[in-house]
């Protein structure tokens, strides 16, 4: 039920209300037609239109001095390590390993090595590594970067000597498959891996990059 005293003013009020969105081009066809029809006959609203357009332009010049805080925000972001990507990497490493096999005696170990590499991936994901990591933080110094397997008859003393002589430390293991995760100096990793591969106690040694490296 509309107040009869408002009937004459209502179209004016309705149109006047919509002037801001008329100016910013945010009216649908029905509203647009209504406002334009009213503007054609209302000098008051046309003056408002002109004044408000200038006011909007002035307001647009006001910019709060808020610096981009991306670096600050990034500190708060945890990125779930995409497991598929890691598995792809591990599969790639396993394939490279397969191709690099040159000694027939070791070829028989290839299948087992593949299993170890995959198992190591699971360990890297589950042992000592949270599902999320904070961006911007340095890789954990204890992260494994080599996976190795030793002959069953290797003694603890032999293993210790082998690790010490190569500057390697034990990060984790043994896995269910008998593999160990080692940390060696990144700069000398290729040489260490080569030496390990040449050692009679070592069945397999392979560079590996975990989630945090």
Pairing of the two strands 202-207 and 146-150: antiparallel
Q: Note whether 168 and 146 are within 8 A (CB).
A: yes
Residue 60 in contact with other proteins, rule: CB under 8 A: yes
Please identify, among the stretches 63-71, 99-107, 141-149, 193-201, the one whose residues bind other proteins according to the rule CB under 8 A. Answer: 63-71
Q: Select 74 or 151, whichever has its Cβ closest to other proteins.
A: 74
Residue 135 in contact with other proteins, rule: CB under 8 A: yes
Residue 176 in contact with other proteins, rule: CB under 8 A: no
Please identify, among the stretches 48-56, 113-121, 159-167, 200-208, the one whose residues bind other proteins according to the rule CB under 8 A. Answer: 48-56
Residue 1 in contact with other proteins, rule: CB under 8 A: no
- Residues in contact with other proteins, counted by CB under 8 A, come to a total of 43
Taking CB under 8 A as the criterion, the residue among 10, 44, 50, 188 binding other proteins is: 50
Residue 54 in contact with other proteins, rule: CB under 8 A: yes
CA distance 133 to 153: 38
Residue 64 in contact with other proteins, rule: CB under 8 A: yes
Residue 26 in contact with other proteins, rule: CB under 8 A: yes
Residue 82 in contact with other proteins, rule: CB under 8 A: yes
**β partners of residue 207:** 146
* Residue 201 to residues 1, 54, 162, 204, Cα–Cα distance (Å): 96, 83, 9, 9
Q: CB within 8 A of 90, min separation 6: which ones?
A: 117, 118, 120, 121, 208
**β partners of residue 181:** 147, 172
Q: Select 39 or 147, whichever has its Cβ closest to other proteins.
A: 39
CA distance 175 to 120: 8
Residue 73 in contact with other proteins, rule: CB under 8 A: yes
Backbone phi and psi for residue 132, each to the nearest 5 degrees, phi listed first: -120, 150
Binding site for other proteins (CB under 8 A): 16-18, 20-29, 32, 50-66, 68-70, 72-74, 76-77, 79-80, 82, 135
């Amino acid at each position: 039920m509309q107040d009869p005293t408002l009937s004459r003013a209502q179209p004016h009020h309705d149109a006047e209300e919509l002037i801001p969105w008329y100016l910013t081009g945010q009216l649908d066809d029905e509203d647009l037609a209504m406002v334009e029809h009213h503007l054609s006959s209302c000098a008051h609203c046309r003056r408002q239109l002109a004044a408000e357009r200038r006011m909007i332009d002035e307001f647009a010049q006001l910019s709060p001095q808020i610096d981009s805080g991306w670096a600050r925000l990034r500190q708060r972001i945890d990125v779930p390590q995409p497991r598929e990507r890691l598995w792809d990497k591990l599969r790639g490493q396993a394939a490279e390993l397969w191709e690099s096999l040159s000694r027939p005696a070791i070829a028989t170990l290839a299948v087992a090595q593949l299993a170890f590499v995959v198992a190591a991936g699971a360990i890297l994901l589950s042992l000592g590594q949270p599902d999320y990591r904070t961006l911007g933080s340095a890789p954990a110094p204890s992260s494994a970067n080599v996976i190795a397997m030793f002959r069953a008859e290797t003694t603890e003393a032999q293993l210790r000597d082998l690790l010490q002589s190569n500057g390697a430390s034990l990060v984790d293991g043994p896995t269910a498959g008998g593999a160990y995760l080692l940390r060696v100096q990144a700069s000398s990793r290729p040489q260490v891996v080569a030496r390990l591969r040449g050692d009679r106690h070592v069945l397999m040694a392979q560079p590996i990059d975990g989630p945090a490296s």
